[in-house]
Amino acid sequence: MDFNLFMNDVVDAARQDIREAGYEELTSPEDVDQALERKGTTLVMINSVCGCAGGVARPAAANSIHYDKRPDHLVTVFAGQDREATEKARTYFEGYPPSSPSFAFLKDGKIVTMLERHDIEGFSAMDVIGKLQQIFDEHCEEI
């Protein structure tokens, strides 16, 4: 099997997983600015093809939002795939080094907190869901 075809399948499946969970995919710097400058709370899932993204981060992204409090906006950028969009998104994460997979939580376009790769890798999806829902409890309104 051609490795590039295999990787395209992996990337397509990873994109589909997060879109089906209800996240808006941002693929250009313009998309990022438009999405991250919105009023309210925004969860950004920085997607990737690594094992901890597929086994922990994407399942946590999908399941954490089934909760009584959740962000107003759910968006995603794909590290290593949509490079310009990811680089633009990272300009909003002041004080945090590049990390993927990861989650950034913003309020009115300003970074509040992040779950970085070291907060995801080595943890279960349930652990990360708990961490995300703790952020939602602190910063989101009930739906």
* Residue appearing with tokens 């994407």: 58
Question: What span, in angstroms and rounded, lies between the C-alpha atoms of 100 and 117?
Answer: 6
Closest CA to 87 of 75, 98, 76, 101: 98
Closest CA to 76 of 93, 87, 89, 95: 89
Look up 52 and say whether it is catalytic: yes
Look up 140 and say whether it is catalytic: no
Q: Which of 14, 36, 50, 75 is catalytic?
A: 50
The single-letter DSSP state of residue 35 is: H
Identify whether the C-beta of residue 22 lies closer than 8 Å to the C-beta of residue 91: no
Q: Which of 52, 115, 135, 140 is catalytic?
A: 52
* Residue appearing with tokens 């925004």: 42
Active site residues: 50, 52
